């Protein structure tokens, strides 16, 4: 288990993280979401022992991050924000150095490095110095360093930031592959990533926890949850006809698309389908919406700002 208890960090007058408490079970991919400056990276730095909390603490697999920081760090892999330090080292040197810092020597060290290099597809850049790598490759070197020792807890600060679409896909697969049995915490600004990858999401703003839910639970808070969207020639006629359904609460036309919102009475999707059949409209697209995370995110974080 990972347990944060009233984790708090001040920078002078700024309260960057404000009494964050949460518990994470193995098998979880927890996503930290929040606007820039919300306190996501600061929380991750405290969890991984790179920044001391002003008050509060956390426990990682039974090790308190303040009293027992060496043991806590041993069970964690951490991808910090930005590029890896030691830019003047080659990728091979840097990873060998990181493996030695984790206590591996000789063949075992080489094996650990080789495996991480394979997983992040770094073979072609092993001889290149880190400072000369592209942004995405720097990110991948950072990830290789984080997973070197196969830690049970991974804290990854924007793991797919700057990666090309193929590598985004690879890194998400890697995280998914590693997730059973492990505790993985990621931060991200890519909302589709939350849906694709996370089993749980925490929305943070101004250092405070505003929502803690499954991606599905967040989607259920969207006004688009179970709405029906249509693209058809008879837009205006359909809007007034469908707006009269007892299953519909309201209709909206936006950019050539009609969306009907559910009243909560009966099955809206079926009712809309029935009307389409009866009227013989020329429908090119019908969709039952699961909800829109960007709208939920905006609502939750804006409400807080107001
Ligand atoms: N060393 C520091 N000294 C002073 N203020 C800091 C320091 N580190 C972070 N902060 C401030 O703390 C707040 C939280 O920053 P943090 O980096 O945790 O945000 P974040 O949620 O990771 O944002 P982003 O999405 O932009 O990465 C910000 O207002 C930031 O300016
Ligand atoms: Mg950050």
Q: What SS3 state is found at 258? A: strand
| 236 and 210, same domain (yes or no) | no
| 169 and 23, same domain (yes or no) | yes
| 114 and 244, same domain (yes or no) | no
DSSP secondary structure letter of residue 117: H
Beta bridge partners of 287: 229
Task: Give the model confidence (pLDDT) of 41-97 as tens digits.
Answer: 999 999 999 999 999 999 999 999 999 999 999 999 999 998 777 889 999 999 999
Of all ligands present, the nearest one to the C-alpha of 189 is: 1
Residues 223-237 have a mean pLDDT of 93
Of all ligands present, the nearest one to the C-alpha of 38 is: 1
| 212 and 282, same domain (yes or no) | no
Domain edge (last residue) among 201, 220, 239:
220
**Alpha carbon distance 117, 109 (integer Å):** 12
Task: Give the model confidence (pLDDT) of 237-271 as tens digits.
Answer: 999 999 999 999 999 999 989 999 999 899 999 99
Task: Give the model confidence (pLDDT) of 109-145 as tens digits.
Answer: 999 999 999 999 999 999 999 999 988 899 999 999 9
Q: Is residue 305 part of a domain?
A: no
Domain of residue 112: give its range: 2-220
Q: Tell me, what's the pLDDT at 306?
A: 56
Q: Tell me, what's the pLDDT at 83?
A: 73
Q: Is 171 exposed, middle or buried (0-12, 13-18, 19+ CB in 10 A)?
A: buried
Q: Is residue 250 part of a domain?
A: yes
Q: Tell me, what's the pLDDT at 291?
A: 94
Domain edge (last residue) among 168, 201, 220:
220
Q: Which of 7, 9, 10, 14 to mutate to test the pocket of ligand 1 (most atoms within 8 A of CB)?
A: 14
Domain edge (last residue) among 167, 194, 220:
220
Q: Is residue 260 part of a domain?
A: yes
Residues 183-196 have a mean pLDDT of 94
Q: Spell out the residues 6+ positions from residue 45 whose beta carbon is closer than 8 angstroms to its own.
A: 51, 80
Number of domains composing the chain: 2
| 213 and 233, same domain (yes or no) | no
Residues 217-233 have a mean pLDDT of 94
Q: How far is the CA of 229 from the centre of ligand 1 (A)?
A: 39
| 183 and 278, same domain (yes or no) | no
Q: Which of 15, 18, 38 to mutate to test the pocket of ligand 1 (most atoms within 8 A of CB)?
A: 38
Q: Is residue 173 part of a domain?
A: yes
Query: pTM score, two decimals?
Result: 0.91
What's the CATH number where 274 sits? 3.30.70.100
- For ligand 1, say whether the CB of 119 is within 6 Å of any of its atoms: no
Q: Tell me, what's the pLDDT at 54?
A: 97
| 193 and 258, same domain (yes or no) | no
| 187 and 247, same domain (yes or no) | no
| 163 and 237, same domain (yes or no) | no
Q: How crowded is residue 182: how many other Cβ atoms within 10 Å of its Cβ?
A: 17
Q: Is residue 296 part of a domain?
A: no
| 232 and 215, same domain (yes or no) | no
Q: Which helix (H) or strand (E) holds 283?
A: strand 283-288
Q: Tell me, what's the pLDDT at 304?
A: 63
Q: Is 103 exposed, middle or buried (0-12, 13-18, 19+ CB in 10 A)?
A: exposed
Q: Tell me, what's the pLDDT at 12?
A: 95
Q: Is residue 144 part of a domain?
A: yes
Of all ligands present, the nearest one to the C-alpha of 36 is: 1
What's the CATH number where 150 sits? 3.40.50.300
Q: Is residue 306 part of a domain?
A: no
For ligand 1, atom 17, name the residue with the nearest CA: 41
- For ligand 1, say whether the CB of 241 is within 6 Å of any of its atoms: no
Residues 169-179 have a mean pLDDT of 91
Q: Is residue 175 part of a domain?
A: yes
Residue 102 has pLDDT above 70, yes or no: yes
| 216 and 232, same domain (yes or no) | no
pLDDT band at 186 (very low <50, low <70, confident <90, very high): very high
Q: Count H helices and E strands in the chain, helices first.
A: 11, 14
| 50 and 161, same domain (yes or no) | yes
């Amino acid at each position: 288990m990972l347990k944060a208890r009233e984790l708090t960090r001040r920078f002078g007058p700024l309260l960057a993280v404000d009494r964050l408490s949460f518990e994470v079970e193995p098998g979880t991919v927890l996503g930290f979401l929040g606007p820039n400056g919300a306190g996501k990276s600061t929380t991750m730095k405290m969890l991984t022992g790179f920044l001391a909390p002003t008050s509060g603490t956390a426990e990682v697999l039974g090790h308190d991050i303040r009293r027992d920081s060496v043991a806590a760090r041993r069970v964690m892999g951490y991808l910090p924000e930005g590029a890896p330090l030691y830019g003047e080292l080659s990728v091979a040197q840097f990873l060998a150095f990181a493996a030695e810092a984790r206590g591996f020597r000789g063949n075992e060290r080489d094996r650990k490095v080789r495996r991480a290099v394979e997983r992040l597809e770094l073979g072609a850049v092993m001889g290149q110095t880190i400072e000369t790598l592209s942004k995405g490759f720097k990110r991948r070197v950072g990830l290789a360093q984080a997973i070197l020792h196969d830690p049970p807890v991974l804290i990854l600060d924007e793991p797919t930031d700057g990666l090309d679409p193929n590598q985004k896909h690879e890194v998400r697969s890697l995280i998914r592959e590693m997730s059973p049995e492990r505790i993985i915490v990621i931060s991200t600004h890519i909302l589709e990533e939350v849906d694709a990858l996370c089993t749980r999401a925490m929305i943070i703003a101004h250092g405070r926890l505003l929502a803690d839910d499954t991606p599905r639970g967040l989607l259920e808070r969207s006004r688009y949850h179970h709405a029906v969207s249509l693209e058809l020639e008879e837009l205006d006629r359909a809007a007034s006809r469908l707006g009269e359904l007892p299953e519909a609460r309201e209709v909206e036309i936006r950019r050539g698309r009609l969306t009907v919102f559910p009243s909560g009475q009966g099955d809206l999707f079926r009712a809309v389908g029935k009307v389409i059949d009866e009227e013989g409209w020329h429908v090119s697209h019908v969709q039952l919406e699961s909800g829109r995370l960007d709208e939920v995110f905006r609502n939750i974080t804006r409400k807080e700002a107001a």
